[in-house]
Structure 1
Amino acid sequence: PSCIRFTQSAIRPRKQQEIEIKNEHTDISTKRYFTPVSYKDQIQALQQIQTVTLIRQKIKKHNLIIRLTDKGNNFYIGSTVEFQQEAQKFFSDTSAFKELSSNPFNEILDLYFNPKKHKV
């Protein structure tokens, strides 16, 4: 019938809902992951893998470092020694950072967890 009787429940039992959801999930995953990849996409994937492995080998061989620039659209490629020297030069020139001689973690925790004297 096209209508639901007053005594009939429109909601299926929980077990039946779980089975239906599981079947739908397997159907979706089967369609998504087991559809064959086109030949063109296979060739493109192989070429990209070869390119990435060549880049990795050259980075390791020549001891290079790759970093994103400030804008995030370009890459900086240079030797690790050169990069460390530039970083040290930046820290010494700007004096924006200073190296801590001790770990202030415990002092910060004491200040955080102890009640404030003016509020007691």
Structure 2
Amino acid sequence: MIERLKVRLAYQRGFQVVDGSSVLETFAERDDAFRFVLGKGARVWLAWSRTMIGGQSPPFDFTASFQQDAVGRILKAVSGPGAGTWFWTCYDGGARGTVATKEEAVVGVERAYTRRLLGADLPR
């Protein structure tokens, strides 16, 4: 089963769903591309970068983007009772959680964003 698929802008044609270097399908509307991804039992593969705050990049802090819009964030707790755990949040809708690994945090944001955009629900 495919876990993640990229949705990218297809100039003057809408949006393409891509698996690696293969275009799976092209859609006129973004939501139709997301529905296709959900139909495959996958989540949208977001772009990840270091979080920048005041020109500084805090350690263990990453921002998720789709089409250049920030849509979520993950960060590692470095002190306190939750030290070593990862917090994740999806900005739209407020879904959030705390998990053991960075990979689980990425999954949390990508699932939440995919669900939120369509009002759908993915199995956990």
TM tier relative to shorter chain: under 0.3
TM-score by length of 2: 0.21
- Structure holding more strand per residue: 2
Relative CO higher for 1 or 2, CA cutoff 8 Å, sep ≥ 6? Answer: 2
Larger radius of gyration: 1
TM-score by length of 1: 0.22
- Structure holding more helix per residue: 1
